[in-house]
Amino acid sequence: MKAVRQSVKFNQQYLDKDALKVVNTIIKAGFEAYLVGGCVRDLLLGLKPKDFDIATNAKPEQVHKLFKRSRLIGRRFRLVHVMFSARKFIEVATFRSGNVQTAKTGVIVRDNCYGSIEDDVVRRDFNINALYYDIKKQEVIDYVGGLIDIADKEIHIIGDAKLRFEQDPVRMIRAVRFQTKLNFNLSNEVK
């Protein structure tokens, strides 16, 4: 899987200083860390993101040790919330691999298998949400055509749509929400 890298300088007013601190702290500790998902999509569209998520190769316990005001959460997939106030936290997720445990219905019940950024990207839901931002190089990293989908204003799911919707039915609701919020078109496989 080959990554496309696009240089981008985002509006500094839209970048969350606490999210940048979290990314820098993780990088300084010797790990990879990127802004990921909807915040990157929104920044590319000139929108102010409502929250910032981070993806890293550091395990949740390693991230937790880096931040005094953090907590481990999640059973299906472990995450770290780095707390900045009673209402503000930055979510940090370790890169996921493709190994998941599913129920007979196909719904994912356990997902604590870690991998690389290339593994993580195919575990995300839609191409437009599978974009990573390298704050040091000021580059968006795209493995699945998310930059093209944003330019074309289309929503494509990553992988087989039927399987992905079976694994997590909430993805159907998210697709419609993104269609409405962004004024994008649902691709044929999503419809």
Q: Identify whether 125 is a catalytic site residue.
A: yes
Q: Which amino acid is at 161?
A: A
Q: Identify the active-site residue in 16, 18, 51, 119.
A: 51
Distances, alpha carbon 69 to alpha carbons 45, 63, 83, 155, in Å? 32, 11, 5, 36
Single out the catalytic residue among 125, 134, 142, 149. Answer: 125
Nearest to 185 by CA among 122, 121, 123, 127: 127
Q: Checking phi first, is residue 11 left (phi over 0); if not, alpha (psi -120 to 50) or beta?
A: beta
51 tagged catalytic:
yes
Residue 76 predicted with pLDDT over 90? no
Q: Is the pLDDT of residue 102 over 80?
A: no
Q: Kindly name the residue from 53, 120, 134, 149 that is annotated as catalytic.
A: 53
What are the tens digits of pLDDT across the range 106-123? 665 555 688 999 999 998
Residues 66, 26: contact at Cβ < 8 Å? yes
Concatenated DSSP letters of 140-184? EEESSSHHHHHHHTEE-BSS-HHHHHHH-THHHHHHHHHHHHHTP
pLDDT of residue 58: 98
Average pLDDT over residues 43-49: 96
Check: pTM over 0.85? Answer yes or no.
Answer: yes
Residue 119 a catalytic site member? no
State yes or no: pLDDT of 59 exceeds 60.
Answer: yes
